[in-house]
Amino acid sequence: MAALFEIEGDLRFQIVEKIADGRMGSVFRGYQLGSEGFAKEVAIKVMHERFAMQRQFIENFIGEGKLVADLIHPQIVQIYNFGDEGKSLYRRMGAHSDVKLQGDQRAYYMVMEYIRGVNLGEFIREVKAQGKELPGPLAVFIASRIARGLAYAHGKKDTEGEPLGIVHRDVSPRSVMMSFEGDVKLTDFGVAKAAGLIEQNEGEQLSGTPEYMSPEQASFEITDQRSDIFSNGIILAELLLGHNMFAGADAAESRQRITDLPIPQFRNESEYIDLRLDAILQKALVHDLDVRYNSAERLMKDLEYHMYHKGYGPTNETLAKFMKELLPDRVTS
């Protein structure tokens, strides 16, 4: 595939295709180039040009890079490098750029692990489009991997041993990557909050995807790590039931449903959901913060016990096999 453009700094990158547009930047597939023909496939997220003139967005983009660079975990998409160039980068992007920088403003980018796969939102849409049903054990497996990544991020401390207080604040299908090898990875920490790294204006503006928000987010309240747990619970319920019970016709209706809709007895909604799994869903989705799971690690352990207490259960290979059957033309051997 012909290169779209190149990025040159301390390292050299060749960009071959645009693969996604996020809230804060466009994501491209490319290669980190080295001597003797070395080429490593990577994903490169370039900040949207319209944000490159706004100091808070720049600081948050830099904060995301610094934060995720130190989150080394199998369930989190890794960041390899962070860089910036002059506005000529946007000129080279051509049609892939949106507005024009002025003066000495910089174009920021981060180099990330490239995941051969799809995000969870695409996965869910494809399952529905093909009229398939996601097996219950795989639904629990996916949610447990998300919880595992959250547990690691939530427990991260700074160099002084103080908790960073990381809250992702946008745990939704579009921020979860599914590799064709069966890996499940959290990404897109662009609206996360973390002490000393990313600025937040909680109580003044909303952050997150409306139909996956916690009641605290939907009500403009201050969030903590239990907010991410609620969002994880929404994803688990959606995977098990085949729809998001909180999704409304628009963002406002979705937020209202999150704050007002009673949580059902899930065991009446699906044959797969037994008393134990129903109890997990109830505890993840309860509004009362004192009753909700107080750690993603506890949620993860309960989900894993539910999957494996009989001595067997789904694995990465199980998920990879399902994805190969779902997307045979996209999965490469």
- DSSP secondary structure of 88-145: HHHHHHGGG--S---TT--EEEEEEEPPSEEEHHHHHHHHHHTT----HHHHHHHHHH
pLDDT of residue 64: 87
For the domain spanning 5-113, the CATH number is 3.30.200.20
Q: b/e string for 245-267 if b means 16 or more Cβ within 10 A?
A: bbbbeeeeebbebbeeeeeeebb
User: pLDDT higher for 89 or 116?
Assistant: 116
How does residue 201 score in pLDDT terms, banded at 50, 70 and 90? low
Three-class secondary structure of residue 23 per DSSP: coil
Whose tokens are 């080279």? That residue is 92
CA separation (Å) from 232 to 124, 193, 266? 15, 17, 16
Architecture of domain 117-326: Orthogonal Bundle (1.10)
pLDDT of residue 36: 86
Structure confidence by residue, pLDDT tens digits, 7-57: 666 678 888 998 888 777 889 999 999 888 899 999 999 888 777 777 778
Sheet holding 25-33, edge to edge: 5-8, 12-21, 25-33, 39-47, 107-113, 79-85
pLDDT of residue 90: 60
How does residue 3 score in pLDDT terms, banded at 50, 70 and 90? confident
Q: Say whether pLDDT at 291 is over 60.
A: yes
Q: b/e string for 189-226 if b means 16 or more Cβ within 10 A?
A: bbbbbbeebbebebeeebbbbbbbbbbbbbeeeebebb
pLDDT of residue 1: 65
pLDDT of residue 200: 60
The arithmetic mean of pLDDT across residues 276-304, rounded, is 98
**Pairwise CA distance, residues 201 & 222, whole Å:** 9
Domain range annotation of the chain = 5-113, 117-326
pLDDT of residue 138: 98
Q: Say whether pLDDT at 202 is over 50.
A: yes
pLDDT of residue 113: 96
**Pairwise CA distance, residues 134 & 126, whole Å:** 11
| Residue 146 near residue 186, CB atoms below 8 Å | yes
Output the average pLDDT for the chain: 89
pLDDT of residue 99: 45
Catalytic: which of 70, 158, 170, 288?
170
Q: Say whether pLDDT at 95 is over 50.
A: no
**Six-digit token string for 55:** 């100091």
Q: Say whether pLDDT at 287 is over 80.
A: yes
How does residue 197 score in pLDDT terms, banded at 50, 70 and 90? low
pTM, rounded to two decimals: 0.90
* Residue 288: active-site member: no
pLDDT of residue 92: 64
